Amino acid sequence: MAIRRKLIAGIASSLSIMLSGAVQAVAEMNMRPGVTETSIEAYELHMLVVWVMVAISFVVFGAMFYSFIFHRKSKHPTPATFSHSTKMEIIWTTIPVLILIYLTIPAVSLLIKMEDASDPEMSIQITGSQWKWHYKYMDQDIEFFSNLATPREQFEDFNADGQTKGENYLLEVDNEMVIPINTKVRFLVTAEDVIHSWWVPEIAVKKDAIPGFINETWTNIPTPGTYRGQCTELCGKDHGFMPIVVKAVSKENFAKWVASKDAERLAAEEAAAVAVAASWDLDKLMALGKTAYDAKCAMCHQVDGSGVAGAFPALKGSVIATGPVAAHMTMVVDGSTGGMQAFGKQLSDAELAAVITYERNAWGNNTGDTVTPADIQAFKAGN
Amino acid sequence: MSDHHPTGITRWLYTTNHKDIGSMYLWFSFIMFLIGGAMAMVIRAELYQPGLQFVQPEFFNQMTTMHGLIMVFGAVMPSMVGLANWLIPMMIGAPDMALPRMNNWSFWILPFAFTLLLSSFLMEGGAPNFGWTFYAPLSTTYGPPSTDFFILGVHMMGISSIMGAINVIVTVFNMRAPGMTLMKMPLFVWTWLITAFLLIMVMPVLAGTVTMMLTDRHFGTSFFDAAGGGDPVMFQHIFWFFGHPEVYIMILPAFGVVSEIIPAFSRKKLFGYSSMVYATASIALLSFIVWAHHMFAVGMPVAGELFFMIATMLIAVPTGVKVFNWVATMWQGSLTFETPMLFSIAFVILFTIGGFSGVMLAMAPVDFQYHDTYFVVAHFHYVLFPGAIFGTTAAVYYWLPKWTGKMYNETSGKIHFWLSMIFVNLTFFPMHFSGLAGMPRRIPDYNMMFADFNMWASIGAFGLGLTQVYFLVTIIMAIRGGKKADEKQWDGATGLEWDALPSPAPYHTFSTPPKVD
Amino acid sequence: MSTETEEKYESYYVPEQSPWPIVGAVALFFIAYGGANFIQQSTDTVDTGDASWGGLVFMAALAVMIYMVFRWWGDVIKESMDGLYSAQMDRSFKQGMLWFISSEVMFFAAFFGALLYVRQFVIPWLGGEGNNMMTHAIIWPEFAPQWPLTTTPDGTTTTGMGAWGLPAINTAILLTSSWTLTIAHHALKANNRQALLNYTSLTALLGIIFLALQVMEYHHAYTEMGLTLGSGIYGSTFFMLTGFHGFHVTLGTIFLIVLSIRCAKGHFTEKHHFAYEAGAWYWHFVDVVWLFLFIFVYLM
Ligand code: HEA
Ligand code: HEA
Ligand code: CUA
Ligand SMILES: [Cu+2]
């Protein structure tokens, strides 16, 4: 008796452990409900459809399996001879129509809500480019790039096993998008080069970034937190390495953040002025240049300047990197229609100068030229 | 006409015989299936665990792109044309296809088109890397040099498909035996007739799309460039106007195949023949007005999104009619489960599951969460692998005795089936979960939270790949040393090919038309 | 004996083996291979190094293709003249031609679709309509929507092509050619050989005149109006639509010339003239496409 009770208790408890494990697993397997009103509604609609589909499956597959069991030849040697029934055809046309109407109604109202970006309290322009995001706060004087922050060594070389991957491997950035909670934020999504798509699952916002057009979408996040997403439109080589991080903070903290960004900008402007005034020699430029190059350029032109055949030209021995300086500056600062981005705004004048100097002297491009931040300033002014 | 076989290599190069051409199509398709599958193996090996292990991102993108292109244009479409060539003349009592020389041309263009496409791996910059959907401007301004070879390769495939489709339509309209009225035709012929219309409607549009790409790349036009007044999204509209009907091009003939096989092994007439025909036609018609369901995230006006959402959901209705009719065919039949039947049953069940995820994708507000994730990848592999590929596989097992006069080994067939069934689900079911959990498609590396599902999918994929090699062995063994097949191998089979022809079917099918009443 | 049907089938003719399809496939392969290389190299948009074989390969393959077409169709003509073809075969050819023309219609539909989509949606959107207010405000503030699009969003300018000069004349020419061809067709059915030959050649001549005028129009556009393939979406749609049409007129004209020659040789009979009908249908198709072009490209 006691043993039996123990056994039952044991089975029950292990069952419940398994069950809770299963529930947890189910939670990881399923769509995340997210945090905004629309994301939760999308989740609910998703669950509704799932259950409707499960129900239909039971009926359809149930009938099939009934046939497999009871109408197999060994059990049911003489087949029936019917082969048509208008009544049945009408029934199984009508019922699906009704089910679909039932599903369409909530879908229509949610869709209309999701696409209504009117009356925003603030706007952020989101620009995708290969392979980073640029955020420009339209109402605050803030703009910055947001790059993948996971060190490339963690995935780039094949024997990166020694490298431990963090919890947010590939989902971390250097500059997060920060927005206030309980505020209707409108996103103006566009792209520089190819199509990208800005997706953050937990706020159920996914909008394609189309070059030459601006798509509007919005969110209103009620709870502070960090929400991660990725680019979801194939955009070339590093499409998988273009994460998005949105940090929702209280309105007070948002104001503080804006203030800190303002201070940062002032500091950067000062640093730029200092840099122009400072004396630069080749070694100093080369050192800064290598850092900037490896961070910003190597993903296309490769660390050793060899490029990727057919896609990104080699800089080692390239005509532009060894020819007149002006053309080189134009290429880096203003970009080209052939796929080279404009780095004029992504890098400081000092970095631009350094990176150009670096390219003109590294890998055997021994031109001996130096380009200083002052040259860059002059070049930009002349533009 | 005497039943003489031409011999030697010119038998195949110069042939005008629908059976030879059908066999070449089927073998070609199988080779492409293996090549495309080998690429899938590379994809799955890379995705087996987080981190980059085997290939660089550029090459990964080339693998994804070429896998999609080869499977769609090289494996599935030619396999369906191969079946059409073998079966349509036999089913309608015709001596051959209506335009036999053109038939040969349609086939022979294909190996060359794919040589062109595959040779791009050797070119500077590598093979196309912009996805099988080749969205502009990634494929125009940013495409590798091989893009132009890809474009002309697509033109060649298009020419081949259009000629193939013309041949089918003309054969069906003009070559039926006396008494074979349209509404007496086997359903496979019907589904192919409708597929052929779809091909004629959309392949030229694909040709137009790639032509615009070519001129945008080289001749300064601005179709897909806002700076000149064009629109990258217009590319997607034109592409999907082709692309959505294309998915039905891949599935309708398979519908036809199971509509032949299920009645045979249920020993009962197909239920609701005429509503099957009308349902197929409705699917085809609807397929022209749903294309933008692939584009819910591009920022269309809401009215457009609503229209395309509702139109797409409507397709579930005629497709449901087909599923219900198959179920009703089995209902109170006298069922046996030989290999073709097993594949057909798995087709109905797994295709329906893929159809259900299709309906989920059709709901625009939730599609924002599914779009371009592995949930979509799960959806389309469910309709394509256990759909189109299982359909063809079932057809091969079912008609092999008629084609070759030899029976395959039933045990091997069943092993092939069960392994396929297990591995196909192991490969593609977990993709629903990784998609819902937020894993985008077309990425070579991912966060740890997706690791488990990817590991399962990869294991399944390797099993699935080996299983298809086993299929090849089974078929070759059957052709080489299979038991002799009966004239009517399956007691429940119906149709002219079983009732009026010996096994193997003679080289020239009907020199005098059979009587159909 | 149910003569009708049995006769129809007994005379069914499955052509013997033929080398032309595979020759055609090989030719197509080299046309594509050489063509792609040639385009890359001649437009200087892709660095092909010193690979300059494209043009040669393309031309050689094209020559093989043309040779193939002549030999293949030569076989067909011969079989037809030998009376190997039944009425059923004739129907197969006719239906094949009709569906081929349908596929051509869809090819043009892609370009017409692009034109309509651009005019109905893209241009207004770039100008800020619909949900694209910000597109206009932020990216293209200077852009003024209009059609013909004489100033593109990035500021390229061009001139619109009017409808009432050469295009109207060309419309008249094509309409006339349709009419002359119909007369010729009736003449064929009435077995009036001389009228048949005259009117068929006249139609071909009208085709040539049409093409000559179109060349003049293009020349005028490129040299005097600044209207080129590169002048934004207006130039793109204009030249692609009229260009592909012109290409089809060229094919149709060649077809008509071949038919004229065959008429002169007395190839067609009142009942048995599939090739003639195919050529006529093709010509009418090209004609109808032109009418749409005239309306949507020039007039509206
Ligand atoms: C053979 C190929 C095939 C088939 C048959 C289908 C069938 C369907 N597909 Fe799928 N689809 C693809 C191949 C296919 N698809 C591919 C390749 C892609 C991705 C392309 C890419 O981006 O690379 C795709 C993508 C795709 C998307 C875009 C997703 C995205 O990118 O965000 C959508 C959205 O609507 C969709 C919907 C549907 C629907 C509604 C059907 C319907 O036809 C399904 C109908 C069937 C059923 C519903 C089951 C049976 C019905 C019943 C039992 C009746 C009762 C049911 C109800 C009342 C619901 N598909
Ligand atoms: C009918 C079409 C079809 C078929 C049958 C398949 C079959 C398979 N597909 Fe594919 N797939 C597509 C059509 C298809 N796919 C399309 C259209 C895409 C989208 C592409 C894009 O995003 O642009 C895609 C994308 C796609 C992805 C997403 C890639 C990405 O987003 O980055 C993945 C990932 O797992 C995948 C996996 C598989 C697997 C494991 C199989 C397996 O079923 C394959 C089974 C394996 C074999 C049949 C090969 C057996 C051979 C060997 C074992 C080696 C011997 C061979 C030689 C020596 C040559 N496919
Ligand atoms: Cu950016 Cu993908
Ligand atoms: Cu679709």
In short, whether B294's Cβ falls inside 6 Å of ligand 2 is no
pLDDT of residue C8: 47
The predicted model gives A236-260 an average pLDDT of: 95
The predicted model gives A62-89 an average pLDDT of: 94
Distance separating alpha carbons of residues C230 and C125, to the nearest angstrom: 21
Pick B127 or A346 by higher pLDDT: B127
Residue type, B439: M
pLDDT category of residue B233 using cuts at 50, 70 and 90 = very high
Distance separating alpha carbons of residues B5 and B25, to the nearest angstrom: 19
Do residues C126 and C145 lie in contact, with contact meaning Cβ atoms separated by under 8 Å?
yes
Out of A201-210, A358-367, B438-447, B490-499, pick the least confident. A358-367
pLDDT of residue B282: 97
Residues of B in contact with A213 (CB under 8 A): 226, 231-233, 299
Taken as a whole, chain C contains a residue count of 300
Residues of C in contact with B162 (CB under 8 A): 100, 103
**B8, two tokens:** 């030697």
Distance separating alpha carbons of residues C201 and B449, to the nearest angstrom: 74
Do residues C92 and B170 lie in contact, with contact meaning Cβ atoms separated by under 8 Å?
yes
The predicted model gives A281-286 an average pLDDT of: 84
- In the predicted structure, residue C18 carries a pLDDT above the cut 50: yes
Angle ∠(B232,C101,B160) on CA atoms, nearest 5: 70
Do residues B420 and B400 lie in contact, with contact meaning Cβ atoms separated by under 8 Å?
no
pLDDT of residue A158: 58
- In the predicted structure, residue C208 carries a pLDDT above the cut 90: yes
A240, B266: Cβ pair inside 8 Å? no
Cβ count near A251 (within 10 Å): 11
A216, C153: Cβ pair inside 8 Å? no
**C130, two tokens:** 């619909």
- In the predicted structure, residue C4 carries a pLDDT above the cut 50: no
Is A45 touching C (CB cutoff 8 A)?
Answer: no
> For A292-333, what is each residue's pLDDT tens digit?
898 888 888 888 888 887 778 888 888 888 888 888 988 998
- In the predicted structure, residue B139 carries a pLDDT above the cut 80: yes
pLDDT of residue A3: 60
pLDDT category of residue A27 using cuts at 50, 70 and 90 = low
- In the predicted structure, residue B1 carries a pLDDT above the cut 70: no
Distance separating alpha carbons of residues B250 and B199, to the nearest angstrom: 10
> For A87-116, what is each residue's pLDDT tens digit?
999 999 999 999 999 999 999 999 999 999
Find the residue in A nearest to C127 (Cα).
A213
Pairing of strands A177-180, A243-249: parallel
Asked if domains A2-115 and A122-158+167-265 share a fold, the reply is no
Q: Write out the CATH class of domain A122-158+167-265.
A: mainly beta
pLDDT category of residue A170 using cuts at 50, 70 and 90 = very high
Q: Shortest CB distance from C12 goes to which of B95, B101, B202?
A: B95
Pick C226 or B516 by higher pLDDT: C226
The predicted model gives B356-385 an average pLDDT of: 96
pLDDT of residue C12: 64
- Determine whether B397 is an active site residue: no
Distance separating alpha carbons of residues B173 and A383, to the nearest angstrom: 69
What is each CA distance from C186 to C95, C162, C198, C270, in whole angstroms?
21, 36, 12, 10
Nearest C-alpha neighbor of A319 from the set A267, A264, A360: A360
pLDDT category of residue A8 using cuts at 50, 70 and 90 = low
For A92-105, b/e burial (b = at least 16 CB within 10 A) is bbeebeebbeebbe
Residue type, A188: L
| A 112-141 near B (Cβ less than 8 A) | 112, 114-115
> For A117-165, what is each residue's pLDDT tens digit?
999 999 999 999 999 999 999 998 899 999 999 887 787 765 555 567 7
Distance separating alpha carbons of residues B80 and A193, to the nearest angstrom: 39
pLDDT of residue A7: 59
Do residues C236 and B215 lie in contact, with contact meaning Cβ atoms separated by under 8 Å?
yes
Q: What are phi and psi of B270, to 5 degrees?
A: -60, 130
Residues of A in contact with B321 (CB under 8 A): 89, 92-93
pLDDT of residue A337: 76
> For B287-304, what is each residue's pLDDT tens digit?
999 999 999 999 999 999
Cβ count near A13 (within 10 Å): 10
Distance separating alpha carbons of residues B257 and B347, to the nearest angstrom: 10
Average per-residue pLDDT for chain C: 89
pLDDT category of residue C255 using cuts at 50, 70 and 90 = very high
Which helix (H) or strand (E) segment holds residue A187: the answer is strand A185-191
Domain extents in chain A: 2-115, 122-158+167-265, 278-382
Do residues B144 and B210 lie in contact, with contact meaning Cβ atoms separated by under 8 Å?
no
Do residues A370 and A285 lie in contact, with contact meaning Cβ atoms separated by under 8 Å?
yes
Distance separating alpha carbons of residues A131 and A110, to the nearest angstrom: 32
pLDDT category of residue C180 using cuts at 50, 70 and 90 = very high
Find the residue in B nearest to C10 (Cα).
B512
- Determine whether B370 is an active site residue: no
pLDDT of residue C7: 45
Measured from the alpha carbon of residue B311, the closest ligand is 1
Do residues B461 and B381 lie in contact, with contact meaning Cβ atoms separated by under 8 Å?
no
- Determine whether B293 is an active site residue: yes
Measured from the alpha carbon of residue B254, the closest ligand is 1
Please list the alpha-helical segments (H only) found in C82-192.
87-117, 123-126, 133-134, 166-189
Is A302 touching C (CB cutoff 8 A)?
Answer: no
pLDDT of residue A344: 84
Helix (H, G, I), strand (E, B) or coil at B507: coil
**What is A2-115's CATH topology?**
Helix Hairpins (1.10.287)
pLDDT category of residue B4 using cuts at 50, 70 and 90 = low
Distance separating alpha carbons of residues B29 and B150, to the nearest angstrom: 19
Residue type, B263: P
Q: Which CATH number is A278-382 given?
A: 1.10.760.10
User: For chain A, what percentages of helix, strand and coil (3-state, to nearest 5) are there?
Assistant: 50, 15, 35
Q: What are phi and psi of A79, to 5 degrees?
A: -70, 150
pLDDT of residue B508: 83
Distance separating alpha carbons of residues B461 and B446, to the nearest angstrom: 18
Is C64 touching B (CB cutoff 8 A)?
Answer: no
The predicted model gives B400-419 an average pLDDT of: 96
The predicted model gives C48-76 an average pLDDT of: 87
For residue B65, which atom of ligand 2 is closest to its CA?
A: 23
For A272-310, b/e burial (b = at least 16 CB within 10 A) is beebbeeebeeeebbebbbebbeebbbbbbeeebebbeb
Distance separating alpha carbons of residues A137 and A185, to the nearest angstrom: 10
Beta bridge partners of A218: A186
d(CA B40, nearest CA chain A) in Å? 18
Out of B76-90, B147-161, C41-55, C130-144, pick the least confident. C41-55
pLDDT category of residue C10 using cuts at 50, 70 and 90 = very low
Which helix (H) or strand (E) segment holds residue B345: the answer is helix B339-362
For atom 1 of ligand 3, the residue with the nearest CA is A196
Average per-residue pLDDT for chain B: 94
> For A340-359, what is each residue's pLDDT tens digit?
888 888 888 888 988 999 99
Taken as a whole, chain A contains a residue count of 383
Pick B516 or A318 by higher pLDDT: A318
> For B330-340, what is each residue's pLDDT tens digit?
999 999 999 99
User: For chain C, what percentages of helix, strand and coil (3-state, to nearest 5) are there?
Assistant: 75, 0, 25
Nearest C-alpha neighbor of A156 from the set A341, A298, A305: A298
Distance separating alpha carbons of residues B383 and B375, to the nearest angstrom: 13
Is A213 touching C (CB cutoff 8 A)?
Answer: yes
Pick B291 or B3 by higher pLDDT: B291
**A296, two tokens:** 């910003």
Residue-wise DSSP of B21-70 = HHHHHHHHHHHHHHHHHHHHHHHHHHTTSSS--S--HHHHHHHHHHHHHI
Per-residue HEC secondary structure of A355-376 comes to: HHHHHHHHHHCCCCCCCCHHHH
> For A172-192, what is each residue's pLDDT tens digit?
999 999 999 999 999 999 999
Do residues C203 and C283 lie in contact, with contact meaning Cβ atoms separated by under 8 Å?
yes
Do residues B390 and B384 lie in contact, with contact meaning Cβ atoms separated by under 8 Å?
no
- In the predicted structure, residue B96 carries a pLDDT above the cut 50: yes
Candidate list B29, B319, B458, B467, residue with the active-site label: B319
Distance separating alpha carbons of residues A364 and C213, to the nearest angstrom: 59
pLDDT of residue A272: 81
pTM of the predicted structure, to 2 decimals? 0.93
pLDDT of residue C51: 64
Candidate list B267, B414, B441, B442, residue with the active-site label: B441
pLDDT of residue B218: 93
pLDDT of residue C5: 44
